[in-house]
């Protein structure tokens, strides 16, 4: 995905170039720094975006444009720098102010740290001009549809199919493929629209995701690629993953390691991939949701959807962007999200089956065992499981954990595994007094 950076001062091209150097992995094909009135704006972009570079740059703005409705933008409006982020936070954007009170911004924190340690995440669906934060979009509970499940499944299928089709460019496409329902659905929907579909899976040799992904690839006729890993390889790449991820959240780091490796493999074959992120939050894919009263489900789904921007969507963005890859989150198309919010909760969790209506919608496009496969967290399905937690428990003493778990801003490290990740995070980014911009997974285990 492209990257943007800048500062609300003129004549700062050299500084903005330094910021862009920190996120050059997001581009690789080109870069540009422009001066507009009293602002200096910069952008890097990928080769696949050269034909649509007009969507990224104008005389007044730079834009991290992923696809329709998924963007982060910095523009000059009425003589002031205005920052804006897409409704769900699919494209990242951070901002801060220098010691002199000058507004600056970047797609990743590592670039912003070239200018300031005053780091803030621009919330999804918001605009900011340095003094006023304005929310222009907010997910809200919608009146449930009174249509039959058959009609809903058909309409959902049509919206998903349209979402996938409009994100395909040319005769070749790619898709991450875990063998679960979500990624398999998008791969199956993409397959008829391209001559060649490349699919990519990663994990340990006997990981469930590896086996199930093979089944899906055979069924839909994709060119399938596997990244088979061992534990030593995971440990070796861990510091690089945390550098790109910009987080120490334990569950997020776990899932990012194999996601990073599969993205590296994908970047050798395709410029963009489909990711199934967002489906669990829209259609009730998590097991704990079954314990809730059905009347509480719509509010809970909106809550966890609103948490995606600095957790799972951050993983998707950083894993892809680390290799100059674009990730399309087809489930988070605005028309899919709008419709999903109107699907009655009873059709999302039905007779103990999570994502029941989505399974109905995609039923004829995938093998039955895939349609009915239970949800597995990305790191579980890849075979990572508790290995990293065990390693941390063996290498961090109880006294070290007690002494180090409370951070400078008062936040508390949850587990020894998370402390292991935080130590690496700190080596990359220093002792930051405010890390409120680091997302934390809801309900993460604690010691």
Find tokens 């990981």 and name the residue: 207
Task: Give, in order, the Cα–Cα distances in Å from 221 to each of 192, 213, 271.
Answer: 10, 12, 20
CA 281-284-287 angle, to 5 degrees, is 110
| Torsions phi, psi for 72 (to 5 deg) | -135, 140
Task: Give, in order, the Cα–Cα distances in Å from 109 to each of 120, 337, 419.
Answer: 9, 28, 20
CATH architecture of 3-135: 4-Layer Sandwich (3.60)
Note the pLDDT of residue 385. 62
Note the pLDDT of residue 57. 86
Domains 3-135 and 149-385 share a fold: no
Note the pLDDT of residue 430. 93
pLDDT confidence bin for 362, thresholds 50/70/90 = very high
Q: Give the whole-angstrom CA distance, residue 426 versus residue 122.
A: 22
Token readout for 405 is: 């778990």
Q: What is the C-alpha R_g of the chain? A: 21
- Cα–Cα nearest to 189, from 212, 218, 205, 167: 167
DSSP assignment, residue 269?
Answer: T
| Tens digit of each residue's pLDDT (9 = 90 or more) over 244-260 | 999 999 999 999 999 99
H/E element, 309 = none
- Cα–Cα nearest to 366, from 191, 211, 210, 150: 191
State the average pLDDT over residues 50-70.
81
- Residue 355 predicted with pLDDT over 90: yes
Note the pLDDT of residue 379. 52
- Other CB atoms within a 10 A radius of the CB of residue 61 amount to 21
Strand ordering across the sheet containing 272-275:
223-228, 196-203, 172-176, 272-275, 326-329
pLDDT confidence bin for 447, thresholds 50/70/90 = confident
Lowest mean pLDDT among 66-75, 129-138, 334-343: 66-75
Q: 139: alpha, beta or left, given left = phi > 0 and alpha = psi -120 to 50? A: beta
- Residue 44 predicted with pLDDT over 80: yes
State the average pLDDT over residues 383-404.
90
CATH number of 149-385: 3.40.50.620
| Tens digit of each residue's pLDDT (9 = 90 or more) over 194-234 | 999 999 999 988 888 899 999 999 999 999 999 999 999 99
Domain residue limits, the chain: 3-135, 149-385, 388-429
- Its pTM stands at 0.95
First to last CA, the chain: 37
Note the pLDDT of residue 64. 86
Residues whose CB is less than 8 angstroms from the CB of residue 214 and which lie 6 or more positions away in sequence, other chains included: 179, 201, 224, 226
Note the pLDDT of residue 52. 67
- Residue 76 predicted with pLDDT over 80: yes
Computed over every residue of the chain, the mean pLDDT equals 93
Note the pLDDT of residue 377. 57
HSE-CB for 115 with a 13 A CA cutoff? 34
- Cα–Cα nearest to 209, from 198, 201, 219: 201
Q: List strand residue ranges (DSSP E) for 177-252, in order.
A: 196-203, 223-228
Task: Give, in order, the Cα–Cα distances in Å from 401 to each of 268, 364, 385, 406, 412.
Answer: 40, 51, 22, 9, 11
- Residue 49 predicted with pLDDT over 90: no
- Residue 336 predicted with pLDDT over 70: yes
């Amino acid at each position: 995905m492209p990257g943007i950076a800048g500062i609300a001062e003129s004549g700062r091209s050299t500084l903005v170039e330094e910021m862009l150097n920190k996120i050059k992995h997001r581009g690789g094909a080109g870069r540009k720094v422009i001066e507009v009135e009293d602002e200096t704006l910069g952008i890097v972009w990928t080769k696949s975006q050269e034909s649509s570079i007009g969507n990224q740059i104008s005389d007044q703005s730079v834009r991290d444009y992923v696809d329709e409705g998924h963007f982060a933008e910095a523009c000059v409006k009425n003589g002031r720098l205005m920052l804006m982020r897409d409704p769900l936070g699919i494209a990242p954007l951070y901002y801060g102010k220098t010691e002199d009170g000058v507004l600056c911004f970047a797609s990743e924190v590592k670039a912003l740290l070239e200018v300031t340690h005053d780091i803030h995440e621009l919330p999804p669906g918001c605009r900011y001009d340095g003094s006023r934060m304005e929310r222009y979009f907010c997910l809200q509970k919608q009146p449930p549809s009174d249509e039959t499940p058959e009609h809903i499944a058909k309409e959902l299928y049509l919206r998903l199919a349209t979402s996938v089709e409009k994100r395909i460019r040319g005769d070749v496409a790619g898709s991450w493929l875990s063998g679960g329902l979500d990624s398999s659905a998008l791969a199956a929907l993409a397959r008829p629209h391209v001559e060649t579909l490349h699919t990519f899976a990663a994990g340990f040799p006997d990981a469930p995701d590896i086996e199930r992904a093979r089944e899906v690839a055979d069924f839909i006729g994709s060119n399938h690629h596997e990244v088979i890993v061992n534990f030593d390889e995971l440990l070796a790449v861990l510091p690089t993953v945390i550098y790109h991820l910009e987080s120490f959240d334990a569950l997020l780091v776990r899932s990012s390691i194999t996601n990073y490796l599969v993205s590296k493999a994908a970047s050798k074959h395709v410029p963009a991939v489909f990711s199934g992120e967002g489906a669990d939050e829209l259609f009730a894919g998590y097991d704990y949701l079954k314990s809730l009263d059905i009347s509480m489900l719509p509010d809970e789904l909106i809550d966890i959807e609103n948490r995606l921007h600095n957790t799972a969507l951050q993983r998707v963005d950083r894993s892809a962007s680390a290799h100059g890859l674009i990730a399309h989150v087809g489930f988070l198309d605005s028309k899919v999200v709008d419709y999903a919010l109107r699907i009655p909760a009873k059709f999302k969790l039905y007779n103990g089956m999570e994502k029941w209506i989505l399974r109905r919608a995609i039923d004829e496009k995938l093998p039955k065992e895939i349609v009915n496969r239970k949800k597995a967290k990305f790191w579980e399905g890849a075979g990572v499981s508790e290995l990293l937690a065990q390693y941390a428990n063996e290498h961090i003493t109880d006294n070290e954990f007690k002494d180090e778990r409370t951070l400078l801003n008062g936040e508390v490290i949850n587990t020894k595994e998370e402390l292991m990740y935080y130590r690496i995070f700190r080596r990359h980014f220093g002792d930051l007094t405010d890390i409120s911009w680091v997302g934390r997974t809801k309900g993460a285990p604690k010691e």
